[in-house]
Structure 1
Amino acid sequence: MNLGYWEIKSWFTNIDFAVVGSGIVGLHAALRLRERFPESRILVLERGPLPQGASTKNAGFACFGSLSEIIDDLNNHTEEEVIALIRKRWEGLQLLRRRLGDAAIDLKPYGGYELFLKEDTAGYEECLRRMPFVNELLKPLFKTDVFAREVDRFGFKGIHEYLIFNPFEAQIDTGSMMQALLKEALKHDILVLNGQTVTAYHEMQDCVQVSLGDFSFSAKKLLFATNGFATSITNGAVMPARAQVLITEPIAGLDIKGTFHIDRGYYYFRNIDNRILLGGARNLDFEGETTTAFGTTDRIQGRLEQVLREIILPDTEFTIAHRWSGIMGMGSHKMPVVQQLSEHVYCGVRLGGMGVAIGSIVGAELAGLV
């Protein structure tokens, strides 16, 4: 790295806490550490020019699970586990709002909707049938029904008559959110260094030796907040999941407002700046999308365009303005992995595609382990 004396002294000396990853989890962990240890030296390391992974690449959904996703979870987890996960997501969203304020994250409480494709009659009927049960399950947390039927008023095509509406969902601007978090970190004397890849770490008796290529420094504690890039440090408990996204050019007279899910959350779209942002279709190629490589594929992008053209905007001309991808962290269980890995090393990872909702509370819990 060809560092000089002043650089080593100012940035890499007497580090109490080194946090790997400057996304939602990493910055919330650093801020919580500052609250707990006011005099400590905290260094956040980020390998990308911007927060890599999903923190600045997601769709900006302030949500905690569509009805079909919750029903799918109930088929694979206990009721207690599903309720605990939804509670964690909901409390995480409230923590994010308290930390930054609704104006800073541009929160818009338009509510959320779930669409059901005509060919998914079984899933549609199951959701309508089990909706009262799920509402009762969630009533202790929300004090009222979460889900209700609504007739489609947006002009979608190829879907069943009713949408499922959730008034507790909202949308945010994740770019504004991350800028606000970075400003908070700087305000609280937390160093954030970009372009720094942790290539190895070695635990000593009273510290951790952290390697950045051919340079290394010591930190008393090392915290990983690398989500989808945490496969190796968690022995495979976390697997990467690439999520591909596209966004249209502005559309005159666009009358779609809200956050929308299709097919158990595998497709999701929203309005933003008179555009439609659409992501998903990972279930077309689970194997190919289990990767940490950023990029897009013709197969998935083609399907996203088809959904736009045939379902979301069937009578509207549109042009694709931009395409991108983010890397999520998934696993066999949807609860995040927040644990101590060794004497001086910790991790808060596997957000399950719900980083906006759960990232702040996972960061706080990660800092709480120290």
Structure 2
Amino acid sequence: MQLSYWEYKTWFSQVDFTVIGSGIVGLNCAFQLREKYPNSKILVLEKGSLPQGASTKNAGFACFGSISEVLSDLKTHSKDEVVQLVQKRWQGIQRLRKLLGDGAIGFELHGGHELFDKGNTDFFQQCLDSVDELNHLLEPVFGTKPFVCTKNTFGFGQIQDHYITHQFEGQLDTGMMMHALIQKCLASEIPILNGIEVMDIIETGTGATIATKDFEFNSRKVFVATNGFATKLLKSAPIQPARAQVLITEPIKNLKIKGTFHFDEGFYYFRNIDDRILFGGGRNLDFKTEETVEFGQTEIIQSKLEELLEHMILPGQKPKIAQRWSGIMGVGPQKTPIVKQLSNSICCGVRLGGMGVALGSLVGAELASLAD
């Protein structure tokens, strides 16, 4: 494709800031840039028809880490690092709610509940024994003790009689959230150009040349916010793509389940939405295959999701599946997001570690701050 004079002049000349990726991080970054530099020329590039990756494909959990996830993180992170991680997630959700409003994102606070397999009493007891310690560790973040023990009031099968509940976890409508972010950027005269895939970014000393599939242009600063796809542009970044498979049922009559639910150290998760069950996870069944940037489903994971749906989540029922999809997350050896300046003109905000809903608005703001 060759650009016309009009196309180049209108969109691709004298660009101050180019954001690559129109997900949660990218749009928050662009909006913060507009707030800070009201007269700048800002451009957001997106390779897909809609935001790719996980921003419009996640489960809509406003979560900060179930008790088993926090215990697992303490094996690879210091206590201070874990507290900082949870703090960032908490701050990110509060920032998102303040920016868009609870009504615009469909935010509801019903708590996040971790379920434990009936046959693994030792693991449940280990987590139960850790409640006081982790409450003490995380109370400064939330202002009170986040974890409480609650009864299995929703009738799930094959699990312990009690959940360990995080009182401050909520849920939101991913589509509403992204629509609100897009509208906020458009209202701030930030164009979002879809169907433009960036192949390379070349530092020039006075800016950067952005090479797309069809044309090139220059930008004073470039912000990479492509998360799980980041290694295409950031070759040496410690990021691994991680596919997450999801299904959703047809509407279920008299569905009483409310809240977000996790089990198996967060590798499985489900919730209610529009009288349906949205259920995802199972990446731990086949880590290697799920280290991919290709969307799709696999038999081993989808079969397990259906089995758990019928025997654990809705015992005695066989709900019909309405849709299946997948999203691509960005993970790595550490869960701390990578927000850094890579050269004079190129910055990145990536590796959200499966917590993009919680972290995205904060990481986007931190990324924008690197424009200074």
Same fold, TM exceeding 0.5?
yes
Letter in 2 for 1:121: T
Q: Any idea what SS the aligned residue of 1:291 has?
A: coil
Query: What are the Cα deviations for residues 98-132 of structure 1, in whole angstroms up to 9, with x where unaligned?
Result: 11000000101111111001232232111000110
Partner of 2:291: 290
Q: Any idea what SS the aligned residue of 1:289 has?
A: coil
Partner of 2:68: 68
Q: Any idea what SS the aligned residue of 1:164 has?
A: strand
Partner of 1:343: 344
Deviation at 1:349, TM superposition (A): 0.1
What is the count of residue pairs matched by the alignment? 370
Partner of 1:185: 185
Letter in 1 for 2:337: P
**Structure-2 separation of matches of 1:342 and 1:288:** 33
Partner of 1:309: 310
**Structure-2 separation of matches of 1:234 and 1:87:** 29
After TM superposition, the structure 1 = structure 2 runs for residues 70-89 of structure 1, keeping only pairs within 5 Å, are 70-89=70-89
CA shift in 2, pair 1:123/1:144, >3 Å: same
Query: What are the Cα deviations for residues 245-293 of structure 1, in whole angstroms up to 9, with x where unaligned?
Result: 0000000000100000011100000000000000000000000000000
Letter in 2 for 1:205: G
**Structure-1 separation of matches of 2:358 and 2:62:** 6
**Structure-2 separation of matches of 1:349 and 1:319:** 36
Deviation at 1:214, TM superposition (A): 3.2
**Structure-1 separation of matches of 2:2 and 2:269:** 45
After TM superposition, the structure 1 = structure 2 runs for residues 325-364 of structure 1, keeping only pairs within 5 Å, are 325-364=326-365
Q: Percent identity?
A: 55
**Structure-2 separation of matches of 1:353 and 1:60:** 11
Letter in 1 for 2:184: E
Partner of 2:320: 319
309-318 vs 246-255, greater mean Cα deviation:
309-318
Deviation at 1:234, TM superposition (A): 5.3
Partner of 1:151: 151
Q: Any idea what SS the aligned residue of 1:69 has?
A: helix
Partner of 1:280: 281
Query: What are the Cα deviations for residues 206-261 of structure 1, in whole angstroms up to 9, with x where unaligned?
Result: 11111112310000001100000112405140110000000000000001000000
Deviation at 1:351, TM superposition (A): 0.1
Query: What are the Cα deviations for residues 279-311 of structure 1, in whole angstroms up to 9, with x where unaligned?
Result: 000000000000000000111000000110110
Deviation at 1:335, TM superposition (A): 0.1
Deviation at 1:90, TM superposition (A): 0.1
Partner of 1:53: 53
* Aligned: 1:169 with 2:143: no
Partner of 1:141: 141
Letter in 2 for 1:361: L
Deviation at 1:133, TM superposition (A): 0.3
**Structure-1 separation of matches of 2:37 and 2:120:** 52
Gaps of 5+ in 1: none
Deviation at 1:2, TM superposition (A): 2.9
Letter in 2 for 1:343: N
**Structure-1 separation of matches of 2:307 and 2:121:** 20
Q: Any idea what SS the aligned residue of 2:168 has?
A: coil
**Structure-1 separation of matches of 2:214 and 2:258:** 50
Partner of 2:194: 194
Letter in 1 for 2:331: M
**Structure-1 separation of matches of 2:254 and 2:161:** 24
After TM superposition, the structure 1 = structure 2 runs for residues 7-156 of structure 1, keeping only pairs within 5 Å, are 7-156=7-156
Q: Conserved in 1, the CA contact under 8 Å of 2:2 and 2:214?
A: no
Gaps of 5+ in 2: none
Letter in 2 for 1:313: L
Q: Any idea what SS the aligned residue of 1:230 has?
A: helix
**Structure-1 separation of matches of 2:247 and 2:103:** 25
Q: Any idea what SS the aligned residue of 1:17 has?
A: strand
Q: Any idea what SS the aligned residue of 2:248 has?
A: strand
Query: What are the Cα deviations for residues 330-363 of structure 1, in whole angstroms up to 9, with x where unaligned?
Result: 0000000000111100000000000000000000
Give the TM-score taking structure 1 as reference length.
Answer: 0.99
Partner of 2:203: 203
**Structure-2 separation of matches of 1:25 and 1:254:** 34
**Structure-2 separation of matches of 1:73 and 1:102:** 30
Deviation at 1:76, TM superposition (A): 1.6
What RMSD in Å do the two structures reach over aligned CA positions? 0.9
> Structure 1 segments of 4 or more deviating over 4 A?
none
Q: Conserved in 1, the CA contact under 8 Å of 2:205 and 2:345?
A: no
78-87 vs 140-149, greater mean Cα deviation:
140-149
